[in-house]
């Protein structure tokens, strides 16, 4: 009986998530993205050996997840099907158009949300953009193909967020290294 409790809790959480996803998809995806991005940043800081949590960075990642990390992919995956229906076509547009734009937006806005002025945010984005974009295309393309090909449309943003968790850890580490170099 006690072994069934964790399973029951998981089923209840998944059920609650799916109900909220059905009744309020944008809000659910935004909040999920916010939590995952903040947790990814915390994990990144802990893995890098930070003694004190950089709360500005955690808040920046959480804000970005809430305002952009959930809503932008929600609309992208909702409307991409109007243009292209084949998974390979969706993947090509996602990887060659959406990803470069979203990566630039993320790098710039994360710096802005941390309270950095435009000039500093722009310079930081320029330093990080190409290496992070190339790493994203190199390491995450297969995961995005699986997402587009096999994951039901309703759950794609959740999968992007779970993939994004690992990406946030990577990105936060890259950004921290650039900040330390200054």
Residue of 76, 74, 95 whose CA lies nearest to 27: 74
Which residue range is the domain that position 129 belongs to? 25-181
In a domain, 15, yes or no: no
Mean pLDDT of 15-24: 90
Total number of domains in the chain: 1
- The answer to whether residue 87 is domain-embedded is yes
Residue 6 lies in a domain: no
List pLDDT tens digits, range 88-132.
Answer: 999 999 999 999 999 999 999 999 999 999 999 999 999 999 999
The answer to whether position 4 is within a domain reads: no
- What are the DSSP calls for 108-147, one per residue? HHHHHHTT--HHHHHHHHHHHHHHHHHHHHHHHHHHHHHH
Residue 19 located in a structural domain: no
Judging by beta carbons within 10 Å of its beta carbon (0-12, 13-18, 19+), is residue 86 exposed, middle or buried?
exposed
pLDDT digits (tens, 9 = 90+) for 139-158: 899 998 998 899 888 788 77
Percent of the chain with pLDDT over 70: 95
pLDDT, average across residues 53-70: 94
Average confidence score pLDDT of the chain: 88
Classify residue 8: in a domain, yes or no. Answer: no
Q: What is the pLDDT of residue 106?
A: 94
In a domain, 1, yes or no: no
pLDDT of residue 4: 60
Examine the pLDDT at 175 and tell me if it is beyond 80.
no
Q: Is residue 12 part of a domain?
A: no
pLDDT value for 167: 82
Say how far apart CA 21 and CA 27 lie, in whole Å: 8
Would you say residue 2 has pLDDT above 70? no
CB burial of 124-151 (b: ≥16 within 10 Å; e: otherwise) equals bbeebbeebbeebeeebeeebbebbeee
């Amino acid at each position: 009986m006690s072994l069934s409790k964790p399973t029951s809790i998981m089923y209840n959480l998944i059920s609650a998530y799916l109900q909220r996803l059905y009744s309020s998809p944008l809000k659910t995806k935004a909040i999920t993205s916010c939590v995952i991005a903040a947790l990814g940043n915390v994990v990144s800081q802990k893995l890098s050996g930070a003694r004190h949590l950089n709360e500005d960075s955690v808040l920046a990642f959480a804000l970005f997840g809430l305002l952009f990390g959930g809503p932008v992919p929600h609309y992208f995956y909702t409307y991409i099907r109007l243009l292209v229906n084949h998974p390979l076509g969706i993947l090509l547009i996602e990887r060659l158009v959406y990803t470069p734009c979203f990566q630039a937006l993320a790098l710039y806005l994360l710096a802005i949300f941390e309270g950095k002025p435009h000039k500093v945010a722009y310079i930081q984005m320029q330093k990080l953009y190409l290496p992070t974009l190339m790493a994203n295309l190199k390491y995450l393309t297969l995961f995005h193909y699986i997402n587009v090909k096999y994951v039901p449309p309703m759950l794609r943003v959740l999968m992007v967020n779970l993939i994004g968790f690992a990406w946030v850890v990577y990105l936060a580490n890259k950004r921290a290294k650039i900040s330390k170099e200054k």
